[in-house]
Structure 1
Amino acid sequence: MKRHYLCPLLMLSQLPLMATAAQNDHSAIERITTTASRVEALSTPLPVVISVLDETQLAAIAPTHIEEAMQRVAGANIQRGNGQEYLPALRSPVLSGAGACGGLLTLEDGIALRAAGFCNINELFEAHSEMAQRIEVLKGPGSALYGSNAVHGVINVVTPDTTQGGGLVAVDYGSFGYNRYKLRAGHDMGNSGLGINASITDDSGYRDDESVLQHKVNLRHRYHRGELTFTSGLTYTHLEQQTAGFITGFESYKDANIAQQNFDPDAFRNARSLRVWSNAEWQLNDGTLATTVYFRNQSMDFFKHFLPGTPLENNSQTGLGLQSLYQHQLKDNIQLNVGLDGEYTRADFLQNQQNATQGSAFLVATVPQGKHYDYDVNATLYAPFASMNVQLSDWLVTLGARYEHMQYDYTNNMLAGRSKEDGSKCGFGGCRYSRPASTKNSFSNLSPKLGVSYQYNTNNLLYANFSRGYRAPQAAELYQLQRQQSTANLAAEIANNAELGLKGVYQNSRYNLSLYAMSKHHTIYRDSDFFSVNNGSSRHRGIELELEHAVSSRWSVNFAASYAKHSYTNTQILNNININGNDMDTAPRKTANLDVTWQAFNNANVALQWHHVGRYYTDPENLHHYDGHDILSLRAQWQVSNNLALAARIINLTNTAYAERADYTSFSGDRYFPGRPRNAMLSATYSW
């Protein structure tokens, strides 16, 4: 078993409070984002809610995983797995399953990390969140700019514009063998510029036989002449991860010996991603024209330690895409936005089991050695959209719609059906895995949007929006079938959303209060017969508050909280229980995060963080649950000189035993990803 030693940073536990960010400027309501409009603009007047984690906050948090940053977003509940893995939630239960990642759109610099039909539940590890300029979170399907997968919202990781010059070198050293090295450098040549943003993470991990080695780099070039600006970028990431899986047994995470063990020492995930893009923006007399072309290439090798027979998955995708937007000022008070998005992707998938299955006679007979799936898909997507913003005195009305067409051309490279690779039959009625014959599938959807905001005084406004979101079935849901299912007749998931909110600045506070109601239909899931079906439905109701308040010149608080109920509305009998009306599993009703900051000196601050995850059910029948947890953490920053900054962090200050993720399955019972015990990190940054 590993033995670990905590850094000397524990001396900081004598400090009474911790800091997550410097004093906030509450003098104005304005907040610049790109997620709302694809060009830098004020999001405040728009009838949508966008949470922004800025560079100051991210530097203070210094997240080792994006989950640590997303704790500050009301309505988000990212559940960390092992290494860089996670399951996402945004105004939703935690999403899991073959295509559940399609419920949330993830971007870097406005470009989707994966093609629309080929998402991965962990795909945010391919964004450079460790060195982001900011992270923007659009909640709900509120914008015509985004189509399939933007059902519950959009997470956009914005990388820094290194072409403006300056830079930094930094090192993070932490408990359990955590090391991270950072470099940012750029050169501004007036009409042009270039720069680099890079990090290397080497984490030997808390649990036995786990580790993460990750490399990320962003390159950027800018050229400006007259009214035309070209900005181009490249992102490359490489992940080598030895994975520790679930531990099982009721509340086993409370046993330190069990929590540290790794019962899947052979599990791993190796992934590579490359994205290259170029954006051209023209400032015209009557508006702006922006186009972005991009190339995307990804591949991953993934040992499926959680499946019988532990097969190896190899998948890859290569694609080209175009985003375009024309903003035209029809009148002083009317702006028209029109555009066309398009994408072509070629993807392949191979699942191969190298060794014979171990276990019961049924598993041995139905899960054969050899290839289970071998297919490739050519996918095309095009999506015209339009929206209009009309300013009427203190009122802003936005109307929009997006039409999207997705087509899959699927080729099965094996024998169709549920036979073994050589065509022989499995016992007990047939093999577990079923391969549909080569085919084509297409999906078309129209999503209207309507929003209204009212500026009732200088710095505060009331808003409402009504919108429809959708997601086309993912390729995995259509072509990775099981048991007796030979085809999956699936339609797009549909979500109808209504939202009402207040946002703005009041005295020393910046706030955002939102109430939302969403109903989802045609939800895709795998039923008790292991068929991919389309008859699920659910209801989502919630209230969220984000508040930044300056108590005095030296004290400030940052608070984010959500109370939500996510419930099943479809009739499905599981273990003789109709789940209609039950809480959805892994959907805590209450989540909250509070940061209290003390500006001890002009060049030093300390802050204390409290993070709360409420009780939630771990199965759809609502027979099993996790009690939730409360975690305290301490952070401190010291600006030693104009160039040198030091920071220290102690996470899980009280050494609480908790689970990052808890769920229940009929074959394994209660299972958990244990949270890390008390751990610390020291950082040094030299900037210029």
Structure 2
Amino acid sequence: MALLLGPPAAAQVSSTAVSGRVLDAETEAALPGVTVLVDGSTLGTSTDETGRFRFVLPRPEATLTVSFIGYRTERVAAHAGGDLTVRLAPSTSDLQPVVVTGSRTARARAEAPVALSAITAADLQATRPNLLADALNRAPGVYMADLGNEQHAMSIRQPISYKPFYVYLEDGVPIRPAGLFNHNALIEVNMAAADQIEIVRGPGSSLYGAGAIGGAVNVSTPAPSVAPLGEVALRGGGAGYGRADLEVSGTAGGTGLYAGGYVAGQRGGFREHSDYEKASLSLRADRALGDWQLSATASLHSLTTDTDGSLDSTNFFGNGVTSQQTFTNREVRAGRASLRADRVWSARQRTTATLFGRANRVGQTPHYRLRLNAADPTRASGEVNDNAFQSVGLLAQHEAVFSRARLLVGGIVDLTPAGYVANYIDVRRDPATGVFTGFTATDSLLTDYDVTLTNLAAFAQGEVEPVERLKLVAGVRVDRVGYDLDNHLPSGSFSGAADRSDTFSRVTPRVGAVYAVTPQTGLYANASQGFLPPEAGELYRGVQVPTLRPATFDSYEIGGFVQALGGRLAADASVYRMTGQDEIVSVRQPDGSSQDQNAGATRHEGVELALAIQPASAVTVRLSGTAAQHTYLDFLVDEREGRELRYDGNRMELAPEHVVNAEVAVRPPALRGLRLAAEVQRVGPYWMDPQNTARYDGHTVLNLRAQYAGDRLGGLELWANLLNATDALYATTAAVSFGRKQYTPGLPRSVTVGLGYHFGR
């Protein structure tokens, strides 16, 4: 084993080191994940999150090849002890769709045996999305369902779901702790300050912990630029939508600073009861302190929104009301802060520690808690609730690189006191239209508890290169998710569980291999396991005695990636099969409520593809898609009164048979800086209920985009997006609820125009 690993860097006295930093030539922003190799060899490294690199040279002088997807490759001379600054210019011809962080450290695509995709800063600039869904849906295997006003549900290797199958991160730190998932968690992300969005598809519990079943989504904050630069932008359009963005960045006195944010809102949208206001602000400061590189971040987010919910068939397809809600709402207040310390001990030894804190409060009158009254169609019931938490935690890891191996070890401590209070409300309803017209508050408590969550984990991942270009990867993580319940309500209450402690622990492994034919072409395979303990709300809300069991998932996948034709063709494909045991599902009741229970076994299998080609210098064609099946293998729903109700063999509800996103973009050479694009989003048919009795036929939406940022305008940029150009009637989600079909309407034809000004570029 010692011969395979080789001596650590400190023992390689005959070698010398080179270091440097890689920047965007236009923005002066640091570039993480850039591949830096000694020319003609595989010796080298990737830049870290601050754009820096350091590794041992085989000789005192060498030529380095510096490459990054989306940028022109540079060759630079290097010498022992040198500290380089390399600036890469953006390229429109380098099309490989993914180079991301797949192992908690910045790595090249050819080194990661997992299914990866990335929405880069260039993608975000070209798309100018009003919603994160407009950007994320460009990635293969991803469908983010727009629920209105930045609210959302997600589908990544799972049906469209509100369940905790995903880990959402910001700069590598989970936005929320395990056990307090919110399907709307990406509300608490600053779109204006998203430098790159990375998606790791499939179970990632061995690195990202409990909940990373469908995958993990990491949003990166921009690194401060060296030179001063910034942007201010305004946009507005139909349906009463408006938004203003501001970003500034620079370095002063050795400290890099970044600030960015936006305010957005809607008044008088295409649906009644759909107004909202959103504001987000992100701050970052980077500074070297001795041998340590420090990075401090802070973000604040505020959302106040009406929640218009879904429509029944009569109102969705007819000319009835556009919302059956009149009072439901949601208020979100969220803040996060972190301090990251990074120490490079030698060319091949590095330690990173991140201290973080969170504060979050969500108050709402939720439409999904409304319950019909079977005896009186003019009455219903619901609740007003408030849930809040505060967290403090530490994430630390150490990476050691050997001549033919790499080892990453780390751990996380996350302590979160939380509370949940819900009051019963008496709701009035118009039976002719189905509109919930108002409510009367009561002092009747449905739920009132505090719970302290303690998440402890240790992880390790090792890589070995037994032969050139072949990497074998193995990882393991030990998780302990603990709940300490303090219930303020007596036994027999709606949420009447006695005070108790519950602990869920699991060891989750992962093994994989990747063979890089070239740095841009390779094959990979992996087997991984996912671990999903019950959420606090699933365990204790509306429960007398908690009975839910944790779910486990076993996943196997193979895939490959290729770049050819001089960088004008790139593709990435994967095939996966995942089985779940004791998956927690929500079973709809006739009154519209849902009941959580363990399904015995489920299966999720599919194919994912990303393809990009440049048939001419001015034309780019992009295609991403998935075809999948999600099946109940063993699902006993009810066995009361001596009979069994089973859904064995049924397709899971809200599981599109395919999802495709395709785009053709043209940059006319006669007018430099102009980009014209046509995008098609196709969501295939799916069952609306687990009984497989109601079916949604799917939909196709056409979006057109135009953008101009040519030299003639100086630093100005103009853009216009025509969304749903054919004005198709479609639903972002469709399900059976209240015993009838319910549809969440998608955006009708809508135009957004914007004006931005960039300074310092």
Deviations 1:209-252, CA, capped at 9 Å, x for gaps: 311100000011111145321000001000010121211126x4
**Cα displacement string for residues 358-417 of structure 1 (whole angstroms, at most 9, x for unaligned residues):** 799xxxxxx986110000001111101111011121210011100001111000011122
Contact 2:584 2:599 (8 Å CA) reproduced:
yes
Determine if contact 2:96/2:571 at 8 Å carries over to the other structure. no
Contact 1:163 1:220 in 2 (8 A): no
Structure 1 or 2: more strand by fraction: 2
Tell me if 1:82 matches 2:148: yes
Find the partner of 2:696 among 626, 647, 651.
Answer: 626
Trace 1:151-230 onto structure 2 (pairs within 5 A): 151-162=213-224, 164=226, 165-189=228-252, 191-204=254-267, 205-230=269-294
Which position in structure 1 is the counterpart of 2:191? 129
Matched-pair contact (CA < 8 Å) for 1:548–1:557: yes
Q: Distance in 2 between matches of 1:528 and 1:457?
A: 51
Structure 2 Cα separation of the partners of residues 442 and 42 of structure 1: 37
Residue equivalent to 1:637? 707
Within the candidate set 275, 292, 316, 1:253 is matched to 316
With over 3 angstroms needed to count, the CA separation of the structure-2 counterparts of 1:143 and 1:47, relative to structure 1, is farther
1:333 partnered with 2:397: no
Question: Which of these residues, 735, 743, 758, is aligned with residue 672 of structure 1?
Answer: 743
Conserved in 1, the CA contact under 8 Å of 2:682 and 2:699?
yes
Aligned equivalent of 2:730:
658
C-alpha distance 279-542 of structure 1, shift in aligned 2 (>3 A): same
Change (3 A) 1:304 1:193: same
Contact 1:464 1:499 in 2 (8 A): yes
Kept in 2, the 8 Å contact 1:184–1:196? The answer is yes
Relative distance call for 1:30 and 1:682 in structure 2 (3 A) is closer
Segments of 5+ residues of structure 1 without an aligned counterpart are 1-20, 361-366, 419-432
Larger Rg: 2
1:520 aligns with 2:580: yes
Cα shift at 1:536: 3.3
C-alpha separation between the residues in 1 aligned to 2:742 and 2:355? 44
Once the two structures are TM-superposed, the CA of residue 197 in structure 1 deviates from its matched residue by: 0.5
Q: Give per-residue Cα distances to partners, 1:508-533, cap 9 Å, x unaligned.
A: 21211100010011112355797643
Structure 2 SS opposite 1:311: strand
Count of paired positions: 635
1:117 equivalenced with 2:191 (yes/no): no
2:460 matches 1:390? no
Partner of 2:674: 604
Deviation by residue 1:537-586 (Cα, 9 ceiling, x = unmatched): 21011001001111110111111010111111113357986321111100
Aligned-residue RMSD, C-alpha = 2.3
Q: 1:632 to 1:298 in 2, by over 3 A?
A: same
| CA distance in 2: counterparts of 1:94 and 1:659, whole angstroms | 12
Instruction: Measure, in 1, the Cα distance between the counterparts of 2:651 and 2:512.
Output: 30
Q: What's the CA shift for 1:71?
A: 1.3
Q: What is the aligned partner in structure 1 of residue 563 from structure 2?
A: 505
SS at match of 1:81: strand
| 2:651 pairs with one of 573, 576, 583 | 583
Aligned pairs for 1:439-478 within 5 A: 439-478=500-539
Cα distance between partner residues in 2 of 1:502 and 1:561? 15
Structure 2 CA distance for partners of 1:47 and 1:487, relative to 1, 3 Å:
same
Check the 8 A contact 2:419/2:449 in 1, yes or no: yes
- Aligned partner (choices 112, 126, 137) of residue 60 of structure 1: 126
Deviation of the 1:32 alpha carbon: 4.7
Deviates more, 1:558-567 or 1:667-676: 667-676
Cα displacement (A) at 1:310: 2.4
- Aligned partners of 2:256, 2:325: CA distance in 1, in Å? 47
Once the two structures are TM-superposed, the CA of residue 44 in structure 1 deviates from its matched residue by 3.0
The answer to whether the aligner puts 1:323 opposite 2:387 as a matched pair is: no
User: Given the two structures, how large is their TM-score scaled by the length of structure 1?
Assistant: 0.88
Is this contact kept in 1: 2:282–2:297, CA < 8 A? yes
Q: Which has the higher contact order (CA 8 A, sep 6+)?
A: 1
Q: What aligned pairs does 1:404-423 form with structure 2 within 5 A after superposition?
A: 404-418=479-493
Deviation at 1:642, TM superposition (A): 4.0
Aligned to 1:559: 623
Q: TM-score, normalised by structure 2?
A: 0.80
Q: Distance in 2 between matches of 1:348 and 1:674?
A: 33
Aligned to 1:496: 554
Cα distance change on mapping 1:31 and 1:195 into 2, 3 Å = same
Whether contact under 8 Å (2:599, 2:636) holds in the other structure is no
- The secondary structure found in structure 2 opposite 1:41 is coil
Q: Report Cα offsets for 1:8-52 as digits up to 9, x if no partner.
A: xxxxxxxxxxxxx99964558696534x23343323321012100
C-alpha contact (below 8 Å) 2:338/2:357 kept by paired residues: yes
Q: Deviations over 1:82-140 (max 9, x none)?
A: 222211110110113xxx1x211111221111111111111111011344111110001
Structure 1 CA distance for aligned equivalents of residues 244 and 276 of structure 2: 14
Q: Which one-letter code corresponds to 1:398 in the other structure?
A: V
- What does 1:1-150 correspond to in 2, within 5 Å? 25-27=92-94, 32-34=99-101, 36-96=102-162, 100=163, 102-142=164-204, 144-150=206-212
Give the Å deviation of 1:305. Answer: 2.7
| Contact 1:254/1:658, CA 8 A, preserved across alignment | no
Equivalent residue for 2:331, pick from 259, 270, 283: 270
Residues 100, 117 of structure 2: 8 Å contact kept: no
Counting aligned pairs with the same residue, the percent is 27
Distance in 1 between residues matched to 2:271 and 2:721, nearest whole Å: 20
1:354-369 equivalence runs, <5 A: 354-355=425-426
- Mapped partners of 1:537, 1:195: distance in 2: 47
CA distance in 2, matches of 1:509, 1:24: 14
Per-residue deviation, 1:477: 0.8
Structure 1 partner of 2:419:
348
CA distance in 1: counterparts of 2:110 and 2:518, whole angstroms: 13
Counterpart Cα distance in 1 of 2:519 and 2:199: 25
Deviation for aligned residue 1:478: 0.6
Deviates more, 1:218-227 or 1:647-656: 218-227
- CA separation of 1:48 and 1:26: change in aligned 2, threshold 3 A: farther
Q: Is the 8 A contact 2:205 2:530 kept in 1?
A: no
Which letter maps to 2:636? Answer: Q
Q: Distance in 1 between matches of 2:595 and 2:696?
A: 28
Task: For 1:253 and 1:506, locate their aligned partners in 2 and report how far apart those are by CA, in whole Å.
Answer: 47
Q: Which amino acid aligns with 2:417?
A: R
Determine the C-alpha separation between the residues in 2 that align with 1:303 and 1:123: 17
User: CA separation of 1:37/1:571 partners in 2, compared to 1, >3 Å: closer, same or farther?
Assistant: closer
Shift of 1:143: 6.3
Deviation at 1:504, TM superposition (A): 2.6
Question: Distance in 1 between the 2:183 and 2:213 partners?
Answer: 15
The amino acid that maps onto 1:186 is S
Q: 1:573 to 1:414 in 2, by over 3 A?
A: closer
- For the structure 1 residues 122 and 544, does the alpha-carbon distance in structure 2 shift closer, same or farther, using more than 3 Å as the test? same
Secondary structure at 2:176 match in 1: coil
Give me the whole-angstrom Cα distance separating, in 1, the residues matched to 2:339 and 2:715.
33
What residue is the counterpart of 1:6 in the other structure?
none
Contact persistence 2:486–2:499 (CA under 8 A): yes
User: Is the Cα–Cα contact under 8 Å of residues 142 and 465 in structure 1 kept in the other structure?
Assistant: no
